[in-house]
Chains A and B, each alone.
Chain A
Amino acid sequence: MCLAVPMKVLEVEENVARVDIGGAGKTIRLDIIDKRPEVGDYVIVHAGFAINVLDEKEAEITLGYFKELFAHDSEAH
């Protein structure tokens, strides 16, 4: 039930944003999100409200951490 889905922001207005979900457009609300999303951002949407912006940099950092972890491994062997 706490399912929340990333959706790409197409347009931002005062308290709503148009987002793309699998090719279909949809309007979501920005009442409870604490950062203002920009066009092109992915927002995490729950029950019609954006709750956060997906941080792509952090996504890369985590993946980089795996690579490091595995590289470390092969060196050790």
Chain B
Amino acid sequence: MTLKHISEYRDGEICKEIAKKIHVISQKKIRLMEVCGTHTMSISRNGIRSLLPKTITLLSGPGCPVCVTTPAEVDQWVKLARKKEVIVVTFGDLLRVPGSESSLGAERANGADIRVVYSPLDCLRIAQNNPGREVVFLGIGFETTAPTVAASLIEAKKSGLKNFSIISNHKLVPPALFALLENQKVKIDGFICPGHVSVIIGGQAYSSLVDKCQIPCVVAGFEPVDILQSIYLLASQIEAGRAELKIAYRRVVAFEGNEKARDIMYQVFDVCDRRWRGLGMIPESGLELKEEFYTFRAEERFDLSVPDAKDPPGCACGEILCGTKSPHECSLFGKSCRPDQPVGPCMVSSEGTCAAYYRYQQ
């Protein structure tokens, strides 16, 4: 597949030119946070840090949905997977996230019926093909994913599917950014905002953050040129003492976002308070099914109550997700915690901060 322009967005010469410009303008010591796992991975893979002046530190925030799941959420999935009548359907990344005593992967090895899908729509087919079983989808992900789950639920309702339900662990990005800025321990001078979340919510979603907190926000794409451009746009604002919203990924993101997708999402979900790993309870940062869709709420069909659970001992994921520690500052990093045997969720998905550091920067 030849995609027009893609080579330009990966062009090493353009990258070097932008990096040069960044070196010229950068005076102040600043800390920029990316809030998307795909950015985290691209920054590590393309060695972006090595192109930047010492004045600029890049932090990875709570931008990977796998990393911000709480141990209690994982314990709920495990409890569900242990029910004989249930088929758990999930995105692949979730299999290895450790809960307080097990993981979906371990349950699958013990015989639980856990199936990995690419699209939430696949669940409907699984449910139709297994009329005697209960099919439960683990709804995790940010604003990019939630509309796809919502569209699938609308279809399930239309077709009168009875043996299908979901657990909604969906989370919303902008409230987490507000929460990070309120956390006094974290000093952040600008946000590299997530490209594909922003396809749905639009650049507009960060306007109040920029206005209220006087923090520059740049929506960025995922190629190295995109990321360097957004760092340049942030650094130049900060040097000039300005805080503005910029979209540096206009080929994909509009200021208004995708209103149709948001409408579908809010046809099915209401906003609720939600607990994030590392950040704790954040008001209005999650999505729960609306009453009209309660028949699809797994909690209505099964007892999924679990006791409060703690993070794995020694794991610094919480601090890493807030930008107060880097993976190298975790005593388990690269020792007992590695991608082949993750202790914490940041080492699970290839988009997790610890996994990206391990893979590209050892």
Tell me the A residues contacting B by CB distance below 8 Å.
Answer: 1-4, 6-8, 20-23, 29, 31-34, 42, 44, 46-49, 51-52, 54-56, 58-63, 66, 69-70, 73
Give the residues from 173 to 202 in chain B that come closer than 8 angstroms, CB to CB, to chain A.
Answer: 194, 196-197, 199-200
A58 to B9, CA, bound (A): 13
A6: nearest residue on chain B (CB-CB)?
B3
Kindly list 19 other residue pairs between chains A and B, CB separation below 8 angstroms, not including A29-B121, A42-B3, A47-B148: A2-B37, A7-B1, A22-B1, A31-B154, A32-B147, A32-B264, A34-B259, A48-B121, A48-B122, A49-B148, A49-B151, A52-B253, A54-B251, A54-B252, A56-B4, A56-B251, A58-B251, A59-B4, A62-B251
B144 and A51 form a contact (CB under 8 A)? yes
A46 to B225, CA, bound (A): 22
B1 and A20 form a contact (CB under 8 A)? yes
Taking CB atoms, residues of chain B closer than 8 Å to A31 are 151, 154, 264
Taking CB atoms, residues of chain B closer than 8 Å to A47 are 91, 118-120, 145, 148
A51 to B144, CA, bound (A): 8
- The stretch among B14-22, B107-115, B292-300, B317-325 that forms the contact with chain A is B14-22
B264 and A1 form a contact (CB under 8 A)? no
B251 and A59 form a contact (CB under 8 A)? yes
Interchain Cβ contacts under 8 Å between A and B, 7 examples: A1-B66, A2-B145, A31-B154, A32-B151, A44-B252, A51-B199, A62-B229
Taking CB atoms, residues of chain A closer than 8 Å to B36 are 2
Distance to closest chain A CB from B140 (angstroms): 8
Tell me the B residues contacting A by CB distance below 8 Å.
Answer: 1, 3-5, 8-9, 14, 17-18, 21, 36-38, 64-66, 91, 93, 118-122, 140-142, 144-145, 147-148, 151, 154, 194, 196-197, 199-200, 225, 229, 248, 250-254, 258-261, 264, 349, 351
B254: nearest residue on chain A (CB-CB)?
A52
Distance to closest chain A CB from B220 (angstroms): 11
Distance to closest chain A CB from B142 (angstroms): 6
A57 to B67, CA, bound (A): 36
Which 5 A/B pairs are nearest by Cβ-Cβ distance? Answer: A48-B119, A34-B260, A59-B251, A32-B261, A58-B250
